[in-house]
Amino acid sequence: MVAKFISIVMVWAVLTPALAAGTPGPLCLAPARAEAVRAAWSGAPGRLLEVAQREAITEAQLLSVLPPEQSVGTGGEAFDAVWQSLQAWPESLTLIERSGQLFEVLGRIPSGEPSKVSRFFNLGDQSHGLSGHLRPDLVTAIYVTELPGRGRTEHGVQFIDAAGGVVFGVYVPNEQAAAGNETLAAFRATRKLVEELPRLCP
């Protein structure tokens, strides 16, 4: 109970300054800043977190104003549908970045099911690749992205928390990104799914 109360206070602490400033909060950037942020991104594209930090905004806010061919988002309630779509990818690379550390897990996205005793979404058992326990109720936004990277386009799906940060991303592996590849085709299907869902930001 105490932990839940602390979590609520922490989320409120993040949201209150943004609301007081008249912005839509940590997920959607205020229209007044959108044009300037888009210009900053197009002038010097790079890693999402680096650009967001340079512009003093959240990763979600940056994603919310990128061109639709680069970024399309929906609410976290789409988690189940998106996760099921990811299971159809022949191969994937899951990235988790925290405090400057970058973890990569190569392998297919496993199935899973909600826990009967907690809020966790338990990933299926497998001998290698991604495993663990997720909290879909803490995912507030999901973005499908096609972002310029190091001489190539990075195709991925970003899972966002209430503070507007990317918790983890699922990507088409570099060697799988050639046109006509099955994994890239599966990515396109996931993108189409998200495009047909309600948009997160106006």
Name, in order, each residue with C-beta under 8 angstroms of 43's C-beta and a sequence gap of 6 or more. Answer: none
CA 33 to CA 109: how far, in whole Å?
36
The whole-model pTM stands at: 0.81
Neighbours of 47 (CB within 10 A): 13
Name, in order, each residue with C-beta under 8 angstroms of 48's C-beta and a sequence gap of 6 or more. Answer: 59, 62, 63, 145, 147, 158, 166
Q: Does the domain made of 2-195 have the CATH classification 3.30.930.10?
A: no
pLDDT digits (tens, 9 = 90+) for 74-111: 999 999 999 999 999 999 999 998 888 888 999 888 88
Name, in order, each residue with C-beta under 8 angstroms of 139's C-beta and a sequence gap of 6 or more. Answer: 76, 79, 159, 160, 161, 167
> Domain-by-domain residue ranges, the chain?
2-195
Per-residue pLDDT of the chain (202 residues; tens, 9 = 90+): 333 333 333 333 333 333 333 344 799 999 999 999 999 888 766 688 888 999 999 999 999 999 999 999 999 999 999 999 999 999 999 999 888 888 899 988 888 787 787 888 777 766 567 777 889 899 999 999 999 877 788 999 999 999 999 999 999 997 766 766 899 999 999 999 999 999 988 7
Calculate what percentage of the chain has a pLDDT beyond 70.
81
